[in-house]
């Protein structure tokens, strides 16, 4: 699909009011998106596990209004009015208006909440933008009931991308790929697609325990981090590596070769952070506890041969990835050895999920 497929038809019979609600999951990238060009086009392809427990639920109530020269919305986060999120939503609405021209016809009340604790340091922009995009698509579907499922999902992902790049991978499950790649049919820079190749069952129930190392504000936002890939000395090699890693991942995902999976995933995580440390200005998002956890994972894996590994997103938290059949052992390991490195001993158990769902209002 191209941008044209997402252009709107002529609207007639706009409903007077209504309410829609969606729950969208977070995702964790195996091959990372880091670097982009306008507007929200990734410098390299990426792939992620869709998560299950960590999710945002958003409901949008809409009411026709008289004046149509501006966007009009109220925003509530966990029941409280949240004005500091408004500029981000305003920019998002400006970016997506071209594809959803009914947006200025309504006053919206957007109510959103996360399943994970507020200030856990888990980015909610992916699940948040995905849930909001699905709500808007749901309204569009009321105008065009014959819209096909695949267009609905691709356009929701397209819109979510314009809110936050990684959000486009939070619509469907369980493995989502985003970014043009010559060897991946139907891959696109514009939206995420369900991974089209064979995936060993071991990955369908993979576990992800998020170790909350640092819950505070990050020193450098993802948006700034992406920008620092422009003119970065190692950028071109890094982008090529991501393309190559997607090729390498194909037989690994098909066979369930966990040894190779671990090597690729951990290398991706450390490369992402190496890019941050070699940006100008350079920065570091890992904390001492992040490194202690990584070392403990390596020692534990060596000693027990348990196929547990880590990945990182743009922060200090560690995602511990392991197959479901290792769960019992790994939970002991977390409790006994890793929890002490988490802020207030906090961690969240999650697993691979099936994608966003509509909530009946």
- Per CB under 6 A, the list member of 44, 50, 112, 222 interacting with ligand DP6 is 222
- Per CB under 6 A, the list member of 313, 318, 322, 348 interacting with ligand DP6 is 313
d(CA 265, CA 244) in angstroms, rounded, equals 13
- Which range, of 10-18, 31-39, 112-120, 282-290, touches ligand DP6 by CB under 6 A? 31-39
**226 near ligand DP6, judged by CB under 6 A:** yes
For ligand DP6, give the closer residue by CB, 92 or 333. Answer: 92
Give me the DSSP letters along 132-179. HHHHHHHHHHHH-TT--HHHHHHHHHHHHHHH-GGGGGSSB-SEEEES
Number of residues interacting with ligand DP6: please give it, by CB under 6 A. 17
- Per CB under 6 A, the list member of 33, 136, 239, 261 interacting with ligand DP6 is 33
Structure token digits, residue 230: 């422009």
Q: Please, what is the minimum distance in Å from the beta carbon of residue 27 to ligand DP6?
A: 7
Q: Please, what is the minimum distance in Å from the beta carbon of residue 38 to ligand DP6?
A: 11
Q: Point out the residue whose Cβ comes nearest to ligand DP6.
A: 165
Q: Are 19 and 12 in contact (CB under 8 A)?
A: no
Report helix, strand or coil for 81: strand
For ligand DP6, give the closer residue by CB, 50 or 222. Answer: 222
For ligand DP6, give the closer residue by CB, 132 or 139. Answer: 132
Q: Are 321 and 265 in contact (CB under 8 A)?
A: yes
Structure token digits, residue 237: 């090699």
d(CA 278, CA 280) in angstroms, rounded, equals 7
For ligand DP6, give the closer residue by CB, 220 or 339. Answer: 220
Tell me 278's DSSP state: T
**29 near ligand DP6, judged by CB under 6 A:** yes
- Per CB under 6 A, the list member of 314, 320, 338, 342 interacting with ligand DP6 is 314
**32 near ligand DP6, judged by CB under 6 A:** yes
- Per CB under 6 A, the list member of 125, 133, 177, 311 interacting with ligand DP6 is 125
Site for ligand DP6 in 52-111 (CB under 6 A): none
**223 near ligand DP6, judged by CB under 6 A:** yes
Residue 19 φ/ψ, nearest 5 degrees: -150, 135
Work out the burial of residue 146: count CB atoms within 10 Å of its CB; fewer than 13 is exposed, 13-18 middle, 19 or more buried. exposed
d(CA 51, CA 220) in angstroms, rounded, equals 24
Return residues touching ligand DP6 (CB under 6 A): 29, 32-34, 40, 46, 123, 125, 164-166, 222-223, 226, 272, 313-314
């Amino acid at each position: 699909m191209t941008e044209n497929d997402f252009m709107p038809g002529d609207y007639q019979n706009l409903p007077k009011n209504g309410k829609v609600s969606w729950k969208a999951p977070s995702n964790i990238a195996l091959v990372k998106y880091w670097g982009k060009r306008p507007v929200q086009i990734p410098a390299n392809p990426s792939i992620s596990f869709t998560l299950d427990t960590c999710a945002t639920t958003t409901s949008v109530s809409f009411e026709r209004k008289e004046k149509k020269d501006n966007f009009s919305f109220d925003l509530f986060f966990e029941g409280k009015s949240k004005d500091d999120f408004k500029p981000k939503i305003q920019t998002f609405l400006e970016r997506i208006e071209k594809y959803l021209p009914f947006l200025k016809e309504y006053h919206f009340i957007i109510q959103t909440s996360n399943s994970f604790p507020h200030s856990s340091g888990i980015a909610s922009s992916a699940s948040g933008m995905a849930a909001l995009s699905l709500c808007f698509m749901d309204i569009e579907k009321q105008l065009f009931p014959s819209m096909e499922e695949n267009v609905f999902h691709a356009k929701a992902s397209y819109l979510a991308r314009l809110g936050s790049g990684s959000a486009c991978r939070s619509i469907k499950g369980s493995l989502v790929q985003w970014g043009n790649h010559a060897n991946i049919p139907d891959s696109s820079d514009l939206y995420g697609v369900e991974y089209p190749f064979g995936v060993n069952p071991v990955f369908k129930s993979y576990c992800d325990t998020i170790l909350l190392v640092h819950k505070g504000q990050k020193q450098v936002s993802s948006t700034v981090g992406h920008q620092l890939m422009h003119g970065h000395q190692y950028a071109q090699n890094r982008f090529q590596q991501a393309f190559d890693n997607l090729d390498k991942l194909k037989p690994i995902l098909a066979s369930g070769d966990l040894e190779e999976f671990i090597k690729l995933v951990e290398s991706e995580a450390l490369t992402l952070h190496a890019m941050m440390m070699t940006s100008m200005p350079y920065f570091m998002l890992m904390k001492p506890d992040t490194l202690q956890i990584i070392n403990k994972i390596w020692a534990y894996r060596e000693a027990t041969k348990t196929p547990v590994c880590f990945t990182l997103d743009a922060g200090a938290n560690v995602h511990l990835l392991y197959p479901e059949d290792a769960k019992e052992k790994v939970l002991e390991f977390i409790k006994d050895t890793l929890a002490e490195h988490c802020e207030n001993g906090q961690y969240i158990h999650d697993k691979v999920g099936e994608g966003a769902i509509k909530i009946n209002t």
